[in-house]
Amino acid sequence: MTPLIVALDFPRAELALAMAARLDPQQCRLKVGKELFTSAGPALVEALQKRGFQVFLDLKFHDIPATVAGACRAAASLGVWMLNVHASGGRAMLEAARAAVDQSPGPKPLLIAVTVLTSLASQDLREIGCNADPAAQVMRLASLAAEAGLDGVVCSAQEAGALRQKWPDLLRITPGIRPAGASLDDQRRVLTPTAALAEGADYLVVGRPVTAAPDPATALAGLIAEIESVHPY
């Protein structure tokens, strides 16, 4: 299996299913985020899984520990491959999430922490009472996630190297991927798939370079060829 996770950033189930029909579950996993899940719900996740796809449920849970534990149990019972929570929810919340996933019957999803959203700069952090700069805050929250036994973190490729050095076993899931020469869309800092893997990313989240391409399967094959030229899978 390749490290590619295609982000299904669509408003409705039929659009997501039409995209999935053009992709091969042997070549990528799929990410379902807040917009699609809010509109299409668990039935869409089940439909994607029935077609053979492994699903990253990107709902970034952040609430009191008991509520997050319940949400993680519900996600695990859906059979998703990966789910995530905000590390800034604190140690007790992370530990409750870990326990909920560990105690769920059936295959255990990977439990991943979001550290600092890449949309937040130093000034935004100061406004919410955090005086650390974003890079230091990422390391602090990754440390908390590692101590609570989470399986990995979502991070920019720029952070992946430092994270790998400190916590080699913590998986690194990296968005902001663009094939060489592609449109940046609204991403500011991007890396090619091979550069992100070299920086230490384990999984690559790719949205529009595949989903907005005239032929998504060809775009995906291009990304895989780019990766396989360096990393055989």
**50 carries an active-site annotation:** no
Using CB under 6 A, which of the segments 13-21, 83-91, 137-145, 202-210 binds ligand C5P?
202-210
Give the nearest distance from C-beta 34 to ligand C5P in angstroms: 9
Asked if 83 touches ligand C5P (CB under 6 A), the answer is: no
Those residues whose C-beta lies under 8 Å from the C-beta of residue 1, and which sit 6 or more positions away, are 26, 27, 29, 233
User: Cα 201 from chain centroid?
Assistant: 11
Tokens (6 digits) for 102: 């560990």
CB of 9 to ligand C5P, least distance (A): 5
Backbone angles phi, psi at 5, to 5 degrees: -120, 115
Fill in the per-residue mask, 31 to 60: x = in contact with ligand C5P (CB under 6 A), - = not in contact.
--x---------------------------
Does the footprint of ligand C5P cover residue 187 (CB under 6 A)?
Answer: yes
Figure out which of the listed residues 206, 220, 223, 227 binds ligand C5P, where binding follows CB under 6 A.
206
Alpha helices per DSSP H over the chain: 13-21, 34-50, 65-78, 91-103, 122-127, 134-147, 157-166, 193-199, 208-211, 216-228
Residues acting as catalytic residues: 60
Judged by the rule CB under 6 A, the positions of this chain that interact with ligand C5P are 7, 9, 33, 117-118, 154, 175-176, 185, 187, 205-209
